Structure 1
Amino acid sequence: MKKIILLLVLAFSAFISQAQNATLKAGDPAPDFKLKNVDGKEISFASYPKAKGFIVVFTCNTCPYAVAYEQRIIELDKKFRSQGYPVIAINPNDPEASKADSFDKMQDLAKEKKYPFPYLYDAGQKVTDQYGAKHTPHLFIVSKSAKGNVIEYVGAIDNDPEGTKAEKTKYAEEAIAALQSNKKPAVTQTKEIGCTVKRKAKA
């Protein structure tokens, strides 16, 4: 009987944990945050008072998919920051589970690649869990509204994770183009493709 009760408790706990970490979807409020950037300064949505919205991307140093998308993320920022949609990159991996994703290593990578956007350290993975980010990269496009910051699109940057297609569907760019025309994106969710977020083993 005790074993049955224990199993039920564990199953219920797993269900609650999964529910708490459900991925946000279009129409949901976008949680604000205040996280340390690689330059030591804290960054939040309020750091961009003139922004119309944000390209929030959970990415990391180590995942091959994140590496493949690195230049495309840089290009998104270069193209859309001046149009009011800056990139904010957040590393969701726990450094104990992925040592090459430590804050020091993040600083090294950002310097080496000359990141034009902030690259934030999510201590305790709190923001990762709030957004329900599951993979790297995992993209959330956010717009400002009278009711606050709202999720408009969630998923992949495009449909070409390997970077080999001559023609590709640029989900992120299409979503922002729609928002700039005062329309809702035609596609609000796609399946993100990447490595799972790395978490340290529970004691």
Structure 2
Amino acid sequence: MQLRGIAVLLLLLLLGEITSGCVQKESSKLPDAGSTAPSFLLESTRGDKVDNQTYTGKHVLLAFLGADSHDPQLDAPSRAQVNQLKSVQLQYGVRGMQSVIIGEPSAGASAAQSREAWTNFEYDWRLAPIPVLVDEGSKVRLDYGARQLPHLFLLDEKGDVVQQWRGLQPSHVLAQALEMRLGAPEFRQP
């Protein structure tokens, strides 16, 4: 019985190595600060075609999220990040910043099912001021090298990468970076 448990453990470790090797090969290098962000063209849950040029002239907080895997442990950080995105959008949207969510498609779901799940997500979280784009096939996420979700990128008004964060980020961390570029939010002005 103990030998069988060791065999299962070794098999899981081997599978983890194979899987991480596959992800590593698919993922490209993370864009460096100061470099032009990889281009993309995605459809929003509202049916609009959105690309990098859509937000030229604005600072963009691009958030790669995975909140529809039906696994609460995997989804929790991305779902929690939504609250921070809503907060900074409310504070800095009037200063020329736009939060944008790029949603990871559900594993095993069709494109229509993923789009419907993200549309429901947008409605449930009341994300009207924040566009939600669905990254079918995860191509854009891989172009950005965003392996861990959530993964956020701050882009300047020219579309260059200013900063990035891996994992869940509290509002004050995002606000600090935005305040350095855009000034204090409206409610903090004298």
- TM-score normalised according to structure 1 size: 0.66
1:6-155 mapped onto 2 (5 Å cutoff):
17=25, 20-51=27-58, 53-62=59-68, 63-96=75-108, 102-115=114-127, 116-145=129-158, 149-155=159-165
Instruction: Give the conservation status (yes or no) of the 8 Å contact 2:40–2:51.
Output: yes
- 1: CA distance between counterparts of 2:169 and 2:28? 25
Q: CA deviation at 1:104?
A: 0.7
Q: Distance in 2 between matches of 1:41 and 1:132?
A: 25
Q: CA deviation at 1:34?
A: 1.3
Change (3 A) 1:80 1:158: farther
In the TM superposition, residue 95 of structure 1 has moved relative to its aligned partner by 3.6
Q: How far off is 1:49 after superposition?
A: 4.3
Contact 1:158 1:171 in 2 (8 A): no
CA contact (8 A) 1:158 1:170 kept: no
Q: Residue 61 of structure 1 aligns to which amino acid in structure 2? A: A
Gaps of 5+ in 1: 1-9, 161-168, 182-203
- In 2 relative to 1, CA 43–159 (structure 1 residues): closer, same or farther, beyond 3 Å? closer
Note if contact 1:158-1:172 (Cα within 8 Å) is conserved in structure 2: no
**What secondary structure does 2:157 align onto?**
strand
User: Aligned in 2, Cα 1:97/1:104: closer, same or farther, shift over 3 Å?
Assistant: closer
| Letter of the 2:115 counterpart | F
Partner of 2:3: none
Distance 1:34 1:109, change over 3 A: same
The whole-number CA distance in structure 1 between the counterparts of 2:33 and 2:57 is 22
Measure the CA separation in 1 of the matches of 2:148 and 2:55: 26
CA contact (8 A) 2:56 2:157 kept: no
**Structure 2: unaligned runs, 5 residues or longer:** 1-17, 69-74, 184-190
What's the offset of the Cα at 1:158? 6.6
Change (3 A) 1:127 1:158: closer
Shift of 1:94: 4.8
Matched letter for residue 172 of structure 1: L
CA distance 1:98–1:144, shift in 2 (3 Å): same
How far residue 156 of structure 1 moved from its aligned partner, in angstroms, is 4.6
Inter-partner Cα distance in structure 2 for 1:24 and 1:92 = 19
Equivalent runs, 1:157-172 vs 2, <5 Å: 160=170, 170-172=172-174
| Identical columns (%) | 19
Would you say the 8 A contact 1:55–1:87 is kept in 2?
yes
The alpha-carbon distance between structure 1 residues 74 and 15, as it changes in their structure 2 partners (threshold 3 A), is closer
**Separation (CA, whole Å) in 2 of partners of 1:80 and 1:22:** 29
CA–CA distance in 1 between the matches of 2:81 and 2:23?
32
Secondary structure of the corresponding residue to residue 133 of structure 1: coil
What is the identity, as a one-letter code, of the residue corresponding to 1:173?
A
